[in-house]
Amino acid sequence: MNVEQPIDDRTALDHDPELNKYFRVAIKTRASDIHLKVGQPPKLRLYGVLKNTTGEMMTREKVEKLVFEILSPTHKQFFLEHGTLDFAHEVDGAHRFRVNVFRQRGMVSLAARRVNTTIPPFEELHLPPVLEKISEETQGLVLVVGPTGCGKTTTIASMIDHINRTRSCHIVTVEDPIEYLFKDEKAIVSQREIGLDVKDFEEALTYLMRQDPDVVFVGEMRDARTVTAGMRAAETGHLVFGTMHSANAAQSVHRLLDLFPQSERSLVRQTLALAIKAVISQMLIPSIKEGVDRIPAVEILIANAAARKLIAEEREADLPSVIRASQQEGMQDLTYNLCELVKNGSIDPKDAYKSAPNIEELKMALKGIRTTASGIL
């Protein structure tokens, strides 16, 4: 269950919840996440690393008091029955957190991700300019993939914001929870949150086409129904955005197909080969540039005829060769991008090696050696 909690839905309206002081510390220190666990002091994730704070050691009673104070009776009951709850929490009317409360070893824990309330443009996110071109497509499935916390949702929000500012259309998002709030500009944006506006993804996607969307964001591609609905929308003339937890384009195809029974995968594969528009793979790496905390290393596959053929023929393992051979079309190889980030002083070589799919290829690229494996010029 995912529940948006406006101020007037809380049980304690006459005072500031104590938990907010912990959230304010996260805001002040620019931490990306905050963790509360019994037997540990509050922890903040700073520049990708989880660090202790000087706060008091969390007891069972303390964590329960902090958490239950911001839950309505309905939310508390759901948590007690299911052992987990997702919701969005707002602090001081300007800062939002995506919160997960869960039980572990019979005790309550909290993990909260700080969400930026402003939607940064591509340039501020240090994303490649080709994302603007992809955003201007009118149909097809665009996957943004990578590990948890790599900025997938922020990248899609920036792409949707570009569409909102430049195209007269209807954008529908189905999210769990809503992270970025869009204001209608040239487009109109309808944002539906699971647990608040609609019961679940299945119900939201059942009625999606009746809402006359032009652009759709269906959140994480987490099951066969979500993927099927996304591909169907892409096939029928809509631009569809979705996220997956995978490392690259080839792995994304594998994981997507694994959501379906073996008997259905051949048909799904052919449908995907036609529907896919682009796969954007990214990870966040600590930056050594002044004023920049982390910077994305990005690999981009644009589904040209060669890429579609490989997917249809079960040869997605060869997709990296298409990326390396088609950089003039806006595609981008991860090794090439890591090399560029090192050369322009954005990241430390040690961090680049940690993130490289092949360390030897990156070493050769940094020496200026052209190889067919990495495509470095």
Q: In angstroms, rounded to a whole number, what is the distance separating the alpha carbons of residues 137 and 214?
A: 11
Cα torsion 104, 221, 201, 193 to 10°: value is 80
Q: How far is residue 179 from each of residues 5, 154, 217, 288, 310, measured CA to CA in Å?
A: 13, 9, 12, 28, 35
DSSP designation for 369: -
Position 195 scores a pLDDT of 75
Position 11 scores a pLDDT of 40
Residue indicated by tokens 């540039």:
289
Tokens linked to 353? 């090696």
pTM of structure = 0.80
Q: How far is residue 32 from each of residues 5, 23, 49, 60, 113, measured CA to CA in Å?
A: 20, 11, 10, 24, 6
User: Length of the chain in residues, anyone?
Assistant: 377
Cα torsion 72, 74, 79, 85 to 10°: value is -70
Measured distance between the N- and C-terminal CA atoms of the chain, rounded to whole angstroms = 49
Position 341 scores a pLDDT of 97
| Continuous H helices in the chain | 19-29, 60-68, 73-82, 122-125, 130-135, 152-166, 201-206, 224-235, 249-258, 265-275, 305-312, 319-325, 334-343, 349-355, 359-366
Q: How far is residue 46 from each of residues 35, 210, 213, measured CA to CA in Å?
A: 12, 43, 38
Position 371 scores a pLDDT of 58
Residue indicated by tokens 């903040």:
44
pLDDT, one tens digit for every residue, the chain (377 residues):
444 333 334 343 457 899 999 999 999 998 989 999 999 999 999 988 899 999 899 999 999 999 999 998 888 999 999 999 988 888 988 788 989 999 999 999 999 988 776 899 999 999 999 999 999 999 999 999 999 889 999 999 999 999 999 999 999 999 887 888 899 999 999 999 887 788 888 888 888 889 999 999 998 888 998 999 999 999 999 999 999 999 999 999 999 999 999 999 999 999 999 999 999 999 999 999 998 989 999 999 999 999 999 999 999 999 999 999 998 899 999 999 999 999 999 999 999 999 999 999 999 999 887 555 444 44
Position 3 scores a pLDDT of 41
Burial of 339 (0-12, 13-18, 19+ CB in 10 A): buried
Of the candidates 355, 299, 296, the one whose C-alpha atom is nearest the C-alpha of residue 126 is 296
Q: In angstroms, rounded to a whole number, what is the distance separating the alpha carbons of residues 216 and 184?
A: 15
Domains along the chain?
Answer: 2-115 (3.30.450.90), 122-332 (3.40.50.300)
Position 373 scores a pLDDT of 42
Position 10 scores a pLDDT of 38
Of the candidates 206, 172, 204, the one whose C-alpha atom is nearest the C-alpha of residue 188 is 172
At residue 168, φ and ψ (nearest 5 deg) are -85, 105
Under 8 Å CB-to-CB from 309, ≥6 apart: which residues? 273, 315
Q: In angstroms, rounded to a whole number, what is the distance separating the alpha carbons of residues 214 and 160?
A: 12
Asked if residues 292 and 346 have their Cβ atoms less than 8 Å apart, the reply is yes
